[in-house]
Structure 1
Amino acid sequence: MCSRREADDWIAQGWVKVNGQVAPMGLQVHATDRIEVDKKAQGFQEQRVTILLHKPMGYVSGQAEDGHTPAVALINPRTHWREDPSRNRFSPPQLRGLAPAGRLDIDSVGLLVLTQDGRVARQIIGEDSSMDKEYLVRVQYGDVATNVQAVFPAQQLARLCHGLSLDGQALKPARVEWQNPEQLRFVLTEGKKRQIRRMCELVGLRVVGLKRIRIGRVTLGNLPVGQWRYLGPHEQF
């Protein structure tokens, strides 16, 4: 129903009852107890926004670091996509608690999700999440920058799909295939730091461009670079 932090807020607001009594923080409950949540909590949750940003190169996903600008700085009325079908209108409170659900490296571009909704964040990056994410990755192999597909060994492509380890841990199976002679399509269900770049290094490839185009069922589509839109009410990851 909500994130842990949201649950704490609901309890503090008096919106949670156990067996008909307003619940204090830290109350122990049992399977036989009746828990009720006030409709005000649902209304509060419905006001929380999830934003889809086409992150440009040079922005970090999370907090500002090493002088680089965080992606959330791009969320303002001027960069709101004109063709956004959502009826939402931007207001400054939408920036409160707005956090990235997953990361996209400073030198990568594409779909970045920022959300105020703990349920969305848990869907995408929760410990038990297996949501797949799709990337287009332009590569070089040694000195070869054109028609890399023709010279890259098939057995190394198979290793990208399954057989590599990072940080002493075997990676989950991935779908990796050629999109065109210079570009691979990766579909991953995990997100280790700089995973695709490090995977490619292990098989002798150098990444020269990386773009995330899909998270779950939500695609980047025609969203222009540096612009954003709201996740629609009928869209689901």
Structure 2
Amino acid sequence: MTDPVRLSKRLAEQLGCSRREAELYIEGGWVNVDGQVVEAPFRKVEPGQRIELRAGATATEIAPVTLLLHRPAGQAAGTDAESTLRMLTAATHCSEDPSRIEPLQRHLLRQNELLPLEADSSGLVVFSQQREVIRTLSGSRNKFEQEYIVDVSGEPEANGLALLAKGIGHRGRILPKAKVSWQSETRLRVVLKEPAPGEVRMLCEAIGLRVLASKRIRIGRLSMAKLPAGQWRYLGEHERF
């Protein structure tokens, strides 16, 4: 009886190509095993299984991508990146993604969470494999404006929003200046540059308001727009932060 072998080895022998070319075909989603796409080069296959290369296959490196997730309220199971990263699956990819990028398993691996949200916040979260995006959002010189919608309760201090625009002290620290406006009787729009953990909440508390919920809807020029809660899409080729 012949033992199972790695799919990449079997495909290389079948096509007469190098092992690396076989891996690229597999990672690119071009290979079917018994009629099902398999993207794992190291998966073991049995001698009797049918291995097929799809029409139009190219052995090219998979370009790194950036993903935008609408993290829903109440589903942040922790403060670490892994709890949010687990939300990135093939099943949660937005069906109306305008990028037209063909989803691949490789796109969901080795993703770096950038400008992470606090555990009790929802909204726009960015994951990236792209060096230029990671450098842009992680650089100390690049302070991107972020926009939040915040549900609050309580009676605000008189002239409180004007105080927030000038910079206000709270709990022994000076908070960043913020542009704040009312969207309704219980909802605020808060815009500020890269808030540290807890600062959006402290800004509201500083003028006598209690935060009930907060949602990040924009980072720099990039808006979450109509991305459904719990789903993700690709950053488009021409989109910039």
| Deviation of 1:213 (Å) | 0.7
Structure 2 CA distance for partners of 1:62 and 1:118, relative to 1, 3 Å: farther
Measured after TM superposition, the shift of residue 122 of structure 1 is: 2.9
- The 2-side partners of 1:167 and 1:192 are apart by 14
Q: What whole-Å deviation, never above 9, does each CA across 1:89-126 have from its counterpart, x for those lacking one?
A: 22222233201111112221111111112321332232
Aligned mates of 1:124, 1:185 — CA distance in 2: 22
**Which of 81, 91, 99 pairs up with 1:63?**
81
| Equivalent residue letter for 1:174 | A
Is the contact between residue 172 and residue 190 of structure 1 (CA under 8 Å) also seen in structure 2?
A: no
Give the TM-score, by structure 2 length: 0.68
Which residue pairs with 2:211 in the alignment? 207
Partners in 1 of 2:184 and 2:124 — Cα distance? 21
How has the CA–CA distance of structure 1 residues 91 and 167 changed in structure 2, closer, same or farther, with 3 Å as cutoff? farther
Q: 2:117 aligns with which of 96, 101, 104?
A: 104
Which of the residues 141, 145, 160 maps onto 1:132?
Answer: 145
Count of aligned positions: 180
Q: 2:177 aligns with which of 152, 158, 173?
A: 173
1:164 matched to 2:177 = no
Alignment match, 1:198: 202
Distance in 2 separating the partners of 1:95 and 1:226: 15
**2:64 aligned to 48, 55, 58, which one?**
48
174-183 or 91-100, which moves further after superposition?
91-100
CA distance in 1, matches of 2:93, 2:187: 30
- Counterpart in 1 of 2:186? 182
SS in 1 for 2:95: coil
Letter in 2 for 1:51: L
- Map of 1:88 onto structure 2: 101
Q: Which has the higher contact order (CA 8 A, sep 6+)?
A: 1
Distance 1:72 1:47 in 2: 20
Superposition CA RMSD, Å = 2.1
Structure 1: give runs of 5+ residues left out of the alignment: 1-42, 65-69, 142-150
